[in-house]
Amino acid sequence: MNLIREAADLLLPHNCCVCGRFPDADGHVPFEVPENFHICFDCLSQLVPVPVEKRFFPCLSEPFDSDPIPGLLLYMPFPYKGFFEKAVPAMKFNAHPELASFAGCVLGSLMKKDGITADLIVPVPLSASRYKERGYNQAGLIASEAGRICGIPCIDTVLVRTRETMRQTEITDNAMRSLNVSGAFASDSSFVADGLKIIVVDDVATTGNTLHEAASALFKAGAGQVLCCALAGNRAVLNAESI
Ligand SMILES: [Zn+2]
């Protein structure tokens, strides 16, 4: 199998897993990293994080007074434009799990640089039907690689979906988004968080409702502290003061 792959690597040009382009005469050259992962310099040059003082946000874009976890923070180092505007759909819908692993390496490197530590890292789970359809949970791959780089153990079975939800991107109203994921997660019954500091990871955060619900389930399991983390999102209101 490896011989066939090596022969194909020699004969066929590789296309970039983010933008899909093949090498061309304009200097669009695929940049190769291990594990048969191919990305072009054009895409790589767009992989620019926001300045460090703008990587933390209140988890909810629209905080409310009776929030039982009002101080919940979101670490989100990239804007949802440029690299991740193309890379997130590619990792979710174009069968590029290796791109999620790569993104996890990038995220983990930034977390390490920013001094983020925890006892455990867990991904937001996919529903069983979506997992079956996709074959992998991109948030799980991101969390696993980020944890590996930061030396934080990752367990992808801590959170479970209690019911099917609509895709948050299909809902425009913020209150409806909140309702869509309300009570959608629980921790596995055998899991005892026992005061642990836990990072919960998703690919993208918009209103923050999904991560807020996931964090809520972790607190119910006894977590002492939860930090929400998303690769990318667009937030107009920054809150560097609350770091
Ligand atoms: Zn590209």
86 or 9: which leads in pLDDT? 86
The span from the CA of 171 to the CA of 145, in Å, is 30
Domains of the chain in sequence order: 1-45 (no CATH), 48-242 (3.40.50.2020)
Distance 168 CA to ligand 1 centre (A): 27
- Across the range 35-57, mean pLDDT stands at 88
What pLDDT is stored for residue 25 in this prediction? 57
Distance 105 CA to ligand 1 centre (A): 18
Distance 20 CA to ligand 1 centre (A): 6
Distance 102 CA to ligand 1 centre (A): 14
**Segment 112-139, tens digit of pLDDT:** 999 999 999 999 999 888 899 999 999 9
CA angle 76, 78, 83 (to 5 degrees): 145
pLDDT bracket for residue 38 (50, 70, 90): confident
Distance 8 CA to ligand 1 centre (A): 20
**Segment 157-179, tens digit of pLDDT:** 999 998 777 777 777 777 777 77
Q: Any idea what DSSP says for residue 27?
A: S
The residue type at 70: P
Distance 17 CA to ligand 1 centre (A): 7
The span from the CA of 228 to the CA of 205, in Å, is 9
What pLDDT is stored for residue 181 in this prediction? 75
43: which 2 tokens? 């895409």
Distance 154 CA to ligand 1 centre (A): 30
Residue 11 has pLDDT above 70, yes or no: no
Distance 94 CA to ligand 1 centre (A): 14
Distance 4 CA to ligand 1 centre (A): 25
Q: Under 8 Å CB-to-CB from 5, ≥6 apart: which residues?
A: 36
Distance 226 CA to ligand 1 centre (A): 35
The span from the CA of 122 to the CA of 113, in Å, is 20
**Segment 174-195, tens digit of pLDDT:** 777 777 778 788 888 888 889 9
The whole-chain average pLDDT of the chain stands at 86
Distance 93 CA to ligand 1 centre (A): 16
Q: Which residue has the tokens 């939860």?
A: 226
Residue 197 has pLDDT above 60, yes or no: yes
What pLDDT is stored for residue 40 in this prediction? 87
Distance 115 CA to ligand 1 centre (A): 30
Cα-based distances in Å from 82 to 79, 85, 86, 96:
8, 6, 7, 18
Output the DSSP codes for 62-73: S--TT-SSTT-E
Cα–Cα nearest to 209, from 193, 185, 192: 185
Residue 111 has pLDDT above 60, yes or no: yes
Dihedral class, residue 165 (left if φ above 0, else alpha if ψ from -120 to 50, else beta): beta
pLDDT bracket for residue 7 (50, 70, 90): low
What pLDDT is stored for residue 240 in this prediction? 34
Task: Report whether 40 contacts 18 (CB < 8 A).
Answer: yes
The residue type at 166: M
Residue 217 has pLDDT above 80, yes or no: yes
